[in-house]
Structure 1
Amino acid sequence: MTTFRTAAEIGRTELGPRPLPELGEYRPATGSESADTVLDNGLRVIAVHQPTVPMAELRLRIPFAGTDRRHAAIAEVLAATILTGTSRRDRVAMDTDLALVGGELSAGVDPERLSIGGNALASGFDTLLDVLADALTAPAYRDEEVEGERARLVERIAVARSQPSVIAREALQRHRYGDHPFTRETPEAADVATVTSDEVRAMHRDSVLPKGSVLVFVGDVEPGTAIAKIGAALAAWTSDKSAVELPDLPDVLGGDVLFVPRPGAVQSQLRLSAQAIPRTDPRYPALQLANLVYGGFFSSRLVENIREDKGYTYHARSSLEFTVRGATLLVDADTASDVTAPALLEMRYELGRLGVVPPTVDEVETVRQYAIGSLLIATASQTGLASQLAALAALGLRTDWLVEHPNRLKEVTRDQVIEAALEFFSPTRFTGVVVGDAAQLKSLRALGGVTE
């Protein structure tokens, strides 16, 4: 009979836990050359020379906020159709031109920004830029393309809204932020169904703007050359207006957890959240490590408790969510319905224990190595580095922040991690939602701090 070892058994020897290997020599993530400038049209361009492979990676981030109720619906259709044709290329021609240089482009949108990203062989960089410029300055939004993508979006939204994770996310957003535009991550299918080509063209004209936007290039092209090529290709993309940023979010205040009934559900979705600090705060590196100790990686306290020890869930984690001017802590787990209350109890227990039983020296060193190693892995490829820099640039940070962050993590003391645990992980700072079958409500009420 075949026997299998548990994760705990795999990670241990007769002498105790298997020690982590020492980190190798730290090498800066951004290569030897980089440049950061603002073009005449107001577009910020960050170019990094990383010649590991002969490729060119682009990430364009355009602030894309709107307060109109139908903004999210029109924006979704725009993102789905911006790369389906221009005045001089149809969808097939755009795809063919990119394919000939080993390239691709894709677009997506959320309440904060419109994102366009892609890559090509370095030798095809000019073609990649030409197709991007064409989409930005002369999109067609042909009726047949808008109608086709609109129909597909309606179907996808209908499916998404039936998913427990989406239901939980929307409930959490409304609980945290009320009717703020940031909560409209998934538009209403009925609104999407009424979007017209004229509305999409008008939104592109009014909202797809260079001023306030950021384009990140990483690849096998010298930064000066890359910026010159980008400036020439996008010279016709101009406007006197600036891209629209989201209004500030209200702080997340601690309080009761909201129970959201989902009749007949066999699983419950638990989501807890608290206000955090942005990456620019000097306390951030300590908070990052404290979060890893609590629930930020597989060997964290939360995972060891409710997954490995008690088997309440397969998936549990805590993470930091970043917005343009702030951040929040998010704790999430999906559990069987009959252990919903015990799982919530243990999640709260581990929050309190992080302060009462502070992280040990070994815990701090383990998560420090994990944080530094994960960052180096995430930025080792051109694709990963481009995405990391684009996320940081949207927060107003420069490439030097990424280069210096491993050293900041190395300098964090255990006392600073303990202070962060006490300050940010107090159970009273958290609120959240539980989505599940109402039959679980009685046991949840017994815990206290749960409302309907």
Structure 2
Amino acid sequence: MTIDRKQAPEFRAIDNINLLRPAHQKLDNGCNIFCFNSGDQELVRIEWIFGNQHFNPEKPLLNVAVNTMLTEGTSKLTAAQIADKVDFYGAFLQVDYGYDNSVVTLYSLNKHLQHTLPVLKDVLTDSIFPEKELETYIRNQQQKLQVSMQKNDFVARRAFSKALYGDTLYGLNADADTYKTLHREDMLIHFKQMYQPSNCTIIIAGKIEPGILELITNTFDKGWTNGDVKSDTSQPDVKSASEHFYFTEKPDALQSAIRMGLPVINRTHKDFPALQVLNTVLGGYFGSRLMANIREDKGYTYGIGSGISSFKHAGAMFVATEVGADVCKAAITEIEKEIELLKTELISEEELSLVRNYMLGSLLGSLENVFSHADKFKNLYFAGLDYDYYDRYVDAVKTVTAGHLKELANEYLNLDKFYKVVVGKM
């Protein structure tokens, strides 16, 4: 076959996105299990996902500290023994803390699950948070914080989150003294209340052979019971600060970190897909307006972007960058200018078409394997949405008009309500 390299490949629009859907079952102890059975390799990823406990401002670090220290030892296994047992079978174990949920993830070959699952069950039912390891954790976190506080972007991100989300999991701003509130007794109580089956969702993705699901369900149904106190995953109402401008001066700074934004809707709102299109035009990809203006034209920064944070109890749209300290004010002016243009001028069809193709291509490209499909499901499940969300998302990206985007810009992007954080020099 002869290929004509002067002829571009035929362009085809993306009509729809086909997502794998999981099988579901609920164990007698209340734990929900979702299975994505696909793939050729004898490998599975199993995630144990727990809703974070109610935020207590007097003990603000319990959720993150308990999750991080789950693998630091049980009454039967030390941290080193846990790591050795997992490594011996070529498996991989990690813990991840998120604002709404905490996750324990195991990657394991199918043939070794009979050996790796008991280790996980021990971790999830019998973690003891040894005093020595807790002292080490506190010391390490204090040292990491001390280093991070020298970075302007880190300080700006903290201040921005605190202003938008206040005394909640989303606005947590720990300092060195905050770590002194961690006590082993509190962590044990928190662990027993949070890490119980009625507060757990297990998501399995990979090649789920006959007998694998039965092994998992038997391991995490029998002998894993709920405690006397039910998990309290409710959260305080988000109350944003009354002050909208925050400046932390660093006289020797060569660059200033900028964070700007405001509370907006989250994924559950009908306008969210179209608002994502608007965000992409503004600063959501390399060819965005912010990049074209502030990086390419003005040369104020190496990178700038905007994004939308969607949490269970909140959402925000933000712009983030680091610019030369001598052009900080000018950069803010240009950011505001680009936002105002979205409110006063229609986006051209050429630009909108480019953004549409980018967004749909990114969505399609993100579905590279069964794990990716499971990740998309998590976005839906923990937001209380169904698969029709992605149908609406694709439809909104393909059909939203410049006029509607202009209306959304005027409805959601009120510069008078923006929170602005600058760390460095102005």
Partner of 1:272: 260
Q: What is the letter of the counterpart of residue 317 of structure 1?
A: G
Question: Within 5 A, what are the aligned runs for 1:44-193?
Answer: 44-184=32-172, 186-193=173-180
Q: Distance in 2 between matches of 1:52 and 1:330?
A: 41
Structure 1 residues 271 and 57: alpha-carbon distance in aligned structure 2, compared to 1, 3 A threshold: same
Structure 1 residues 20 and 211: alpha-carbon distance in aligned structure 2, compared to 1, 3 A threshold: farther
Question: Within 5 A, what are the aligned runs for 1:254-269?
Answer: 256-269=244-257
Match of 1:29 among 14, 19, 26: 19
Partner of 2:295: 307
Q: Distance in 1 between matches of 2:329 and 2:25?
A: 53
Q: Deviations over 1:125-170 (max 9, x none)?
A: 4444332221111113223332333332222222222221221112
Q: Distance in 1 between matches of 2:392 and 2:121?
A: 33
Partner of 2:191: 204
Q: What is the letter of the counterpart of residue 325 of structure 1?
A: H
Match of 1:378 among 366, 371, 374: 366
Deviation at 1:340, TM superposition (A): 0.5
Deviation at 1:227, TM superposition (A): 5.4
Indicate conservation of the 8 Å contact 2:283/2:305, yes or no.
yes
Query: Is it true that 1:356 corresponds to 2:327 in the alignment?
Result: no
Q: Distance in 2 between matches of 1:46 and 1:139?
A: 25
Q: Distance in 2 between matches of 1:402 and 1:414?
A: 21
Question: Within 5 A, what are the aligned runs for 1:263-412?
Answer: 263-398=251-386, 401-402=389-390, 405-412=393-400
Structure 2 counterpart SS, 1:136: helix
Q: What is the letter of the counterpart of residue 217 of structure 1?
A: I
Structure 1 counterpart SS, 2:301: coil
Indicate conservation of the 8 Å contact 2:166/2:240, yes or no.
no
Partner of 1:234: 220
Partner of 1:7: none
Indicate conservation of the 8 Å contact 1:129/1:230, yes or no.
yes
Q: Deviations over 1:186-206 (max 9, x none)?
A: 533233256343332222123
Structure 1 residues 351 and 265: alpha-carbon distance in aligned structure 2, compared to 1, 3 A threshold: same
Structure 1 residues 267 and 394: alpha-carbon distance in aligned structure 2, compared to 1, 3 A threshold: same
Partner of 1:248: 237
Unmatched segments (≥5 aa) in structure 1: 1-17, 441-452
Q: Percent identity?
A: 24
Partner of 2:5: none
Tell me the TM-score normalized by structure 2: 0.87
Indicate conservation of the 8 Å contact 1:70/1:191, yes or no.
no
Deviation at 1:229, TM superposition (A): 4.0
Structure 1 residues 163 and 61: alpha-carbon distance in aligned structure 2, compared to 1, 3 A threshold: farther
Structure 1 residues 376 and 409: alpha-carbon distance in aligned structure 2, compared to 1, 3 A threshold: same
Structure 2 counterpart SS, 1:324: coil
Indicate conservation of the 8 Å contact 2:305/2:319, yes or no.
yes
Deviation at 1:275, TM superposition (A): 2.5
Q: Distance in 2 between matches of 1:182 and 1:398?
A: 25
Q: Deviations over 1:347-393 (max 9, x none)?
A: 00000101212211122221112112212222313443333433433
Structure 1 counterpart SS, 2:380: helix
Q: What is the letter of the counterpart of residue 264 of structure 1?
A: D
Q: Deviations over 1:32-80 (max 9, x none)?
A: x522344333333322122153321223332224443353334443233
351-360 or 65-74, which deviates more:
65-74
Indicate conservation of the 8 Å contact 2:260/2:318, yes or no.
yes
What is the number of equivalent residue pairs in this alignment? Answer: 416
Structure 2 counterpart SS, 1:367: helix
Q: Distance in 1 between matches of 2:406 and 2:9?
A: 23
Q: Distance in 2 between matches of 1:419 and 1:52?
A: 47
Deviation at 1:176, TM superposition (A): 1.9
Indicate conservation of the 8 Å contact 1:211/1:239, yes or no.
no
Indicate conservation of the 8 Å contact 2:55/2:236, yes or no.
no
Question: Within 5 A, what are the aligned runs for 1:403-442?
Answer: 405-437=393-425, 440=426
Tell me the TM-score normalized by structure 1: 0.82
Q: Distance in 2 between matches of 1:211 and 1:69?
A: 25
Structure 1 residues 26 and 103: alpha-carbon distance in aligned structure 2, compared to 1, 3 A threshold: farther
Structure 2 counterpart SS, 1:72: coil
Q: Deviations over 1:251-278 (max 9, x none)?
A: 688x843323233222111111123222
Partner of 1:214: 201
Q: Distance in 1 between matches of 2:9 and 2:411?
A: 30
Q: What is the letter of the counterpart of residue 231 of structure 1?
A: T
